[in-house]
Amino acid sequence: MTKLAKEIPVHLACPACGKTQRVKLKWARNHKSLKCKDCRKAIDLRAPQAKSLIARTAQAVATFERPGGAAGRGQAGRQGQEGGQESQEAGQEEGR
């Protein structure tokens, strides 16, 4: 991960007061919980919702950093257009 990626903020909504808390991605990954600045309650970073958000942010950063992988381009619907390859199993002689 580059230096830029570590500075990317993750926006977590506090379950207690609903205010959005901003933490750096690197920080979020290294901590189990975050103290809400508004209501001072602990936000569990290991909770599924927070965890998936952190994971998704990390994934988005990884995609963004890949050359040519930004702007959602490249992964268009280009799948192999080779239909009609029938695998014929000829030459099986089982009769005796």
Residue number with CB closer to Zn ion (5 or 17):
17
- Nearest residue to 22 via CA among 7, 32, 5, 4: 7
Q: Out of 1, 16, 55, 60, which residue is the one contacting Zn ion (CB under 5 A)?
A: 16
End-to-end alpha-carbon separation of the chain, Å?
Answer: 64
Q: Out of 7, 33, 38, 56, which residue is the one contacting Zn ion (CB under 5 A)?
A: 38
Provide the minimum distance between the beta carbon of 43 and Zn ion in the complex, in angstroms, as a whole number: 7
Choices 13-21, 26-34, 51-59, 77-85 (CB under 5 A): range interacting with Zn ion: 13-21
DSSP conformational letter for 13: E
SS3 at position 89: coil
